[in-house]
Chains A and B, each alone.
Chain A
């Protein structure tokens, strides 16, 4: 368990020597407890203190990196069990499988399908992260060749699943791309030795948390350094229970023996793979392998991942500014809302649904929704009037001076008119009513203001 500042203070020399850069040992202890400083800054500390504090401040869940460069995937390295306590940092990696029995054309086709699993949502790209190459052929040379093809054709980090002989052949082909090796459970030690000698991360598979405990010890003894644990569940319920158990042991109990990122193979006839994946995204799965490359399944799954891994303290924001929607002209309506991405994309898609070209003004509101931003004093008559009056702003782009204000902040309309000289129309309270609202607007509302 993490130590409190007072517990840490008791281990320090209590000399207030200031060598650490803090005025007192207690102040330093508080920084240590908050994870903002490391014990190495305290030279006079005893060996015992350094050992204890070093262990306590090490991350509860180690980090495993797969792949290289920009496409590298980080597994693990999380610090909380519930996202509202802080945030989840490293999104569950999604791998889609290819079999090494595929012919050349079929492989290309499959890789094209996997590459297409990339979507833009609320301004972010969400994509499948890895390609899992399965050795179904029991031919190491063939497996190595297909792994090479999957790497060059897919450009994504690889998960290599097969017997150690096949993995060894593939490592010669694609080793520098830093694939994750996944040997079968009966070859844990040989697989760990191969990973250790090649300096690659490895998946350790064994049935259940108890089984993993022994297998992980064996893998460590064989030299494996970067390890991902797969408890080989039989169904979705078991998968989530195992996943929760391993992550709770790691974070709440600091049980180093099983504190590893997790992998779950939901392909090859696993029952209800979509259900299992949806449960494992919020419940601590680090890497999921799926056989499906159907966008109708992958898009919801990636969207769920995007939702769960959004920092609860930092909503996704869009750039403030003027966004033309459709073929907006100088006589198109002008609407305004806040820069909370969900607000922006909802309003945007509702305006699009109305088929009315329009200018959408986005106000800087620290990513808050309309009502929250208003309550926090970020979306006010003054701030809105300032946006309307901005030089080089909306006044240069439209001939009229009529603003559609979100219905939630109708009370601002008088003040805005007073400050900006614009006329204000109060729009609907809910964005979903925009299509019918915009279609009912008389065009005369947006005639040129002067003349």
Chain B
């Protein structure tokens, strides 16, 4: 009596996407698989890419995170260098959060300058994120796209601004992160719209909106599984690498509150909160993870299996 091991052959394959690096740097290649994560069958040519966030905002960051970053959080260029050089991030997510009126209100030109400075300081691939204010982002994306001397990805294009972001990406040879709010139909729709305006499929990543642990992570978990299953089953518009940005994990009170001794040391709890969010996204099918805590970059990079 022998049980045959399960073999689930999917008709589809996730499109391979390359995030370009500067000369001498290592590009990030994700996707290319025709199987679910951790399944023994199928081909998985590329490991999950582990990146780090570099913010430009003036807002306070959680103390446990600030300690781990060694005070570099106020200096994006020095933080970016440490992310790449010391902590081993394979790509950076540069969030131009500082251009938001509530988070520093930097002028668009300052945002563009940070893009130039960071790209000069690191060789790894970079994703450039807007500030989250619709009006400002409408100026920021074109400015950042122009300022970037080498190809980056712009994050993100949604239902409203896809023409602007997609257009800026096309004009300067960048890629696009397509964003949808935990909605598989919308995820597909944005990718269709981007493809309609001519953004090549191998320059698109899906951001399904990542809820933090305890605050909606289960929705993200299931939407990532559904997008991945749809992609592997042959839906070309969803057969794209998925990016999970774990920043929301740090918004949970349980991740940062130091006033509850029964919850344990916040210097352990904070990174663990982000780590648990990351493992769940990985199990669901994410191809790129963006962390804020250096220790998690090390532990996720150290695992060769997937």
A104 in the interface, Cβ–Cβ < 8 Å?
A: no
* Contact (Cβ within 8 A) B303 A236: yes
* Chain B residues whose CB sits within 8 angstroms of the CB of A301 once the complex forms: 276
- A204-218 vs B, Cβ < 8 Å mask (1 yes, 0 no): 000001000100010
Instruction: Name the one of A255, A275, A303 contacting B279, with C-beta atoms under 8 angstroms.
Output: A275
Report Cα–Cα, A176/B55, bound state, in Å. 58
- Among B4, B40, B266, residue most surrounded by chain A Cβ atoms (within 10 Å): B40
* Chain A residues whose CB sits within 8 angstroms of the CB of B5 once the complex forms: 209, 245, 249
* Chain B residues whose CB sits within 8 angstroms of the CB of A22 once the complex forms: none
Complex interface: stretch among B16-24, B197-205, B209-217: B209-217
* Chain A residues whose CB sits within 8 angstroms of the CB of B263 once the complex forms: 119, 295-296, 299
Would you give the shortest CB distance from A365 to chain B, in whole angstroms?
17
Report Cα–Cα, A171/B276, bound state, in Å. 36
* Contact (Cβ within 8 A) A304 B3: no
B67 in the interface, Cβ–Cβ < 8 Å?
A: no
* Chain B residues whose CB sits within 8 angstroms of the CB of A90 once the complex forms: none
CB nearest neighbor in B for A214: B1
Would you give the shortest CB distance from B109 to chain A, in whole angstroms?
27
* Contact (Cβ within 8 A) A346 B262: no
* Contact (Cβ within 8 A) B272 A296: yes
B288 in the interface, Cβ–Cβ < 8 Å?
A: no
A258 in the interface, Cβ–Cβ < 8 Å?
A: yes
* Chain B residues whose CB sits within 8 angstroms of the CB of A295 once the complex forms: 262-264, 269
Instruction: Name the one of B3, B38, B269, B303 contacting A241, with C-beta atoms under 8 angstroms.
Output: B38
Instruction: Name the one of B213, B254, B283, B305 contacting A238, with C-beta atoms under 8 angstroms.
Output: B305
* Contact (Cβ within 8 A) A244 B39: yes
* Chain B residues whose CB sits within 8 angstroms of the CB of A121 once the complex forms: 214, 254
* Contact (Cβ within 8 A) A84 B280: no
* Contact (Cβ within 8 A) A303 B1: no
Q: With A82-B222, A244-B39, A295-B264 in contact, do A237 and B283 touch (Cβ < 8 Å)?
A: no
* Chain B residues whose CB sits within 8 angstroms of the CB of A298 once the complex forms: 264
Dominant secondary structure of chain B at its interface with chain A: helix
* Contact (Cβ within 8 A) A237 B275: no
* Contact (Cβ within 8 A) A303 B214: yes
Dominant secondary structure of chain A at its interface with chain B: helix
* Contact (Cβ within 8 A) B221 A255: no
Would you give the shortest CB distance from A262 to chain B, in whole angstroms?
14
| A-B CB pair tally, cutoff 8 Å | 139
* Contact (Cβ within 8 A) A346 B215: yes
CB nearest neighbor in A for B226: A84
- A280-314 vs B, Cβ < 8 Å mask (1 yes, 0 no): 01110000000000111111110110111010100
Report Cα–Cα, A84/B276, bound state, in Å. 20
Q: With A275-B299, A299-B263, A303-B254 in contact, do A213 and B273 touch (Cβ < 8 Å)?
A: no
B134 in the interface, Cβ–Cβ < 8 Å?
A: no
CB nearest neighbor in B for A248: B6
* Contact (Cβ within 8 A) B3 A282: no
* Chain A residues whose CB sits within 8 angstroms of the CB of B217 once the complex forms: 304, 307
* Chain A residues whose CB sits within 8 angstroms of the CB of B254 once the complex forms: 121, 299-300, 303
Would you give the shortest CB distance from B247 to chain A, in whole angstroms?
13
Report Cα–Cα, A300/B275, bound state, in Å. 9
Report Cα–Cα, A5/B2, bound state, in Å. 30
- B100-135 vs A, Cβ < 8 Å mask (1 yes, 0 no): 000000000000000000000000000000000000
* Contact (Cβ within 8 A) B38 A297: no
B52 in the interface, Cβ–Cβ < 8 Å?
A: no
* Chain B residues whose CB sits within 8 angstroms of the CB of A294 once the complex forms: 264-265, 268
* Contact (Cβ within 8 A) B279 A307: no
Q: Within B246-276, which residues are at the interface with A (CB < 8 Å)?
A: 251, 253-254, 262-266, 268-269, 272-273, 275-276
* Chain A residues whose CB sits within 8 angstroms of the CB of B26 once the complex forms: none
Q: With A295-B263, A297-B272, A307-B214 in contact, do A279 and B225 touch (Cβ < 8 Å)?
A: no
B282 in the interface, Cβ–Cβ < 8 Å?
A: yes
What are 18 A-B pairs at a CB distance below 8 A?
Answer: A237-B38, A237-B303, A245-B40, A252-B6, A253-B4, A253-B6, A257-B1, A272-B303, A275-B279, A279-B38, A279-B283, A296-B268, A297-B264, A297-B268, A300-B276, A307-B214, A308-B218, A312-B218
With A217-B1, A281-B280 known, 10 other A-B pairs at CB within 8 A are A84-B225, A237-B306, A244-B38, A253-B6, A275-B275, A275-B279, A294-B268, A300-B275, A304-B280, A307-B214
For the complex of A and B, list the 9 residue pairs with the smallest distance between their C-beta atoms, beginning with the closest: A237-B305, A296-B264, A278-B279, A295-B264, A296-B268, A296-B269, A307-B218, A248-B6, A300-B276
